[in-house]
Amino acid sequence: MPGTDSHHAEGRVAGAYLQPLLEAASAHGIAAATLAQAAGVAPHNLEASAASLAARDYVRLLDAGAQLAGDAHFGLHVGQRVRMGTYSAYGLILLSCSNVGQALEQTARYERLAHDLGRSTLQRDGAVAHYRWASNYPGASRHLVDSVFAGIRVCGDWLAGMPLPPAQLAFTHDGGGELLRHEAHRDEYVRVLGSLPAFGAPANTATFDAQLLDWPVPNADVSLYPVLCQHAEQLLAQRQAEAGTGGGIEAQVHAAIVGGLRQGSARLATVAAALAVTPRTLQRKLADAGTSFQALLDQARYGLARDYLRQPGLSLVDIAFLLGYQEQSAFNHAFRVWTGTNPGAWRLQELQARQADV
């Protein structure tokens, strides 16, 4: 079966993430049992009570659904049915983000709680921003990539409270090959995604005005953000432990960063040296794991910042220094991105909460 890379054979998809696919199939009159049989998947794996499904089986179901439905845009139509709840635990984090950029950053960090189908990265390059989704199943049909980007489009509009301006899209697949000769086929891409992607590209990307990252999320409950992130981190740690990867590259880098910050140095070069690899090799390994040095540095700083803020003897200037910031203003800005509030206000809320519990 194309796309079932053995390296990702143990990847999972959360039960909630499967639901839009089942709904799209049902809209064509395809029962779950029929879909399962066509994909060679045990029917009980599609029951609502199932916590998760093998990622390789999800890929098979997506292709089987497209064939049974005779829908050339089945992936797009699956993505259109995505809701915030589809993203499982990290969907709640997105709802607590203060702006679109923060939501995309948290997607890159926590999407593995919903699926192991691929990994996101976000890069800001001056006036433009680049979102990239690297599939763990590059041999899968185009429906996989189409479903992911359609889902992001739907949820992005929902988070912003209005349609976002169309992005410049580029996909690695061929867009349907000969089907692209038909105007209706091209128009469906534009209708769902907002623009016609460039096909046969080196990577799956969306390029857009970087100012969109600062668009606020209306009605976001930013007060829940720290609590939800803490819960998500616990879930990630649990997944690592269950998979026997607690000593993987992410855990090693996180530990080295924490140790480095306490000693006054947590740069990429020093962490790479501590792990006996070159900076370039370390960056490549982290990219393969679906993360980056900056993401792990932010995670470590965020965890330590909360611990330090609970210590009344440390001033904000002291904490900024301990976290490796040259200026307190830089720490204040980062903390506001993480939590939606400034460190002083967060400390006061923690103090009041403790006093209320006494």
| Residue 29 neighbours by CB under 8 Å, 6+ apart | none
Top-confidence residue, 223 or 39? 39
Q: What is the pLDDT, as a whole number, of residue 8?
A: 45
**253 and 312 belong to one structural domain:** yes
Most confident region among 49-53, 148-152, 326-330 by mean pLDDT:
148-152
Hey, CA dihedral for 194, 200, 205, 209, is it positive or negative? negative
Q: Could you tell me the CATH number of the domain that includes residue 283?
A: 1.10.10.60
Can you give the length of the chain in residues?
358
CA–CA gap between residue 303 and residue 339 (Å, rounded): 12
Starting from the edge strand earliest in sequence, which strands make up the sheet with 128-135, in order?
Answer: 118-125, 128-135, 205-209, 168-170
Q: Do 229 and 207 belong to one domain? A: no
Q: What is the mean pLDDT of residues 9-29?
A: 90
CB-based burial, 116-142: b 16+ in 10 Å, e otherwise: bbbbbbbeeeeeebbbbbbbbbeebbb
Q: What is the mean pLDDT of residues 160-170?
A: 94
Question: Which whole number is the average pLDDT over 110-126?
Answer: 89
Indicate the angle between helix axes 293-309 and 343-357, nearest 10 degrees.
Answer: 50
What pLDDT is recorded for position 264?
67
The answer to whether the pTM exceeds 0.85 is no
Retrieve residue 246's tokens.
């607690």
Write down the pLDDT at residue 86. Answer: 83
Give the domain range for residue 303: 222-357
Task: Indicate the pLDDT class of residue 3, thresholds 50, 70 and 90.
Answer: very low
For residues 134 and 113, what is the distance between their CA atoms, to the nearest angstrom?
16
Q: Is the pLDDT of residue 343 over 60?
A: yes
- 234-288 pLDDT, tens per residue? 777 766 655 554 457 887 788 788 777 866 668 898 888 888 889 999 998 888 8
Q: Is residue 292 part of a domain?
A: yes
Domain end marker among 197, 214, 231: 214
Lowest mean pLDDT, pick from 110-119, 173-182, 304-313 = 304-313
Nearest to 262 by CA among 308, 312, 316, 327: 308
Residue given tokens 């845009």 in the structure block:
73
Let me know if residue 4 belongs to a domain.
Answer: no
Is 133 among the domain residues? yes
Phi, psi of 101 (to 5 degrees): -60, -45
**pLDDT at residue number 246:** 44
Q: What radius of gyration do the chain's Cα atoms show?
A: 22
Does residue 29 have a pLDDT over 90?
Answer: yes
Q: What's at 104, amino acid-wise? A: L
Q: Residue 257 in contact with residue 266, Cβ under 8 Å?
A: yes
In a domain, 181, yes or no: yes
pLDDT tens, position by position, 52-107: 889 999 999 999 999 999 999 999 999 999 998 888 778 888 888 888 988 998 88
Q: How many domains does the chain have?
A: 3
Closest alpha carbon to 320 in 306, 330, 307: 330
Same domain as 252, residue 201: no
Q: On the CB side of 284, how many CA atoms lie within 13 Å of its CA?
A: 5
Q: What does the mean pLDDT of the chain come to?
A: 87
Residues 346 and 228 in one domain: yes
